[in-house]
Amino acid sequence: MATAALLAVDWGTTSARAYRVAANGDVLDMRNAPLGISQVVDARFGEALDRLLGDWRNERVPRIASGMIGSRQDWVEAPYIACPAPLTALASALVYTPQRELALVPGVRTRDANCVPDVMRGEETQILGGVDPREEHVLLALPGTHSKWALVESGRIVDFATFMTGEAWHVLITHSILGRLAVQGAPATTPGPGFERGITRGMGTGALLHDLFGARTLVLMGELAPEEVSDWLSGLLIAREVRNARTWAHRHGYDGGRVRVIGDDALVARYAIAFAREDVIVTPVPSHAAARGLWHIARSAGLISDSR
């Protein structure tokens, strides 16, 4: 087994992913476990970490983690760092667990144009792992339950914004009247034609609270198949997020014509359809962005020496 210089954990609410990382940042091994924060009973985080690392836990190398594990309700709080947040600020704000089992990366906070706070925890690390510090301007999208959009300039997270797209889709299709006429088909790797039609609706300038109701009325009128409702709603919400996030980026002086997307393949494929519709160029992202970000932060914090 190649020698690791760092054990890195992307530790979220529902799942955790651990990496063995080489001194040059390469990912040597990876393992997933259903050991998300919400599965940890009685705050036994140390035990959960041991189970997650398995036989790696005897390696005497630094350990670092990002994600919800550092929230106030969890192991130890790693307080949010304000934007603009450079890599060095994250590195110097690492918080250690009581027995120094793990260094925890802080989340990042900002305020929007109306001074309402916004926060992220975990995505800041993926973002820093998804850029090269020499890049002057990068617009990133991290689609998900709570999608994040971020602006990064020379390795500094300048600003970001959250969109509750994934969760809005989930609660509406599961708990609202919109799901009542819907029939869930077999999970498709590629979204159906309903998705494309939802995209068209979402790219418009309508009011979201009104537009949503189309997921019911189109079926009532026989203009959308019950099997397409879920995809239609997904397309509507994703497109609305993309349109609104590009407006947000414009206000920050970004043309929004190029976006780097970090996320799971199926979701990235959906966003790619929305981006293509708007002629937005999707730029490739290095794999294992979280591991890469943790390695950058560990190195900046002096946990591992620079062997690049």
Summarize as ranges the residues that interact with a second copy (CB under 8 A). 109, 112-114, 116-119, 146, 161-165, 167-168, 171-172, 174-177, 201, 204, 206-214, 217-218, 220-221, 223, 237, 240-241, 244-245, 247-248
> Shortest distance, CB of residue 209 to a second copy, whole angstroms?
4
Nearer to a second copy, 8 or 178 (CB): 178
Indicate the residue among 5 and 150 with the shorter CB distance to a second copy: 150
CB of 127 to a second copy, least distance (A): 18
d(CA 179, CA 167): 14
Beta carbon nearer to a second copy, 15 or 154: 15
**In the complex, minimum distance from the CB of residue 86 to a second copy, in angstroms, rounded to a whole number:** 22
Cβ(67)–Cβ(11) below 8 Å: yes
Pick the closer one to a second copy by CB: 88 or 247.
Answer: 247
Nearest Cα residue to 81 out of 22, 180, 156 = 156
CB neighbourhood size of 111 (10 A): 12
Minimum distance from residue 56 beta carbon to a second copy (Å): 32
CA distance 298 to 308: 14
Smallest gap from Cβ 178 to a second copy, in A, equals 8
Q: How far is CA 23 from CA 17, 30, 57, 61, 273, in A?
A: 19, 15, 18, 11, 37
Residue 1 or 220: which CB sits closer to a second copy? 220
279: phi then psi, degrees, rounded to nearest 5: 60, 30
CB of 202 within 8 A of CB of 243? yes
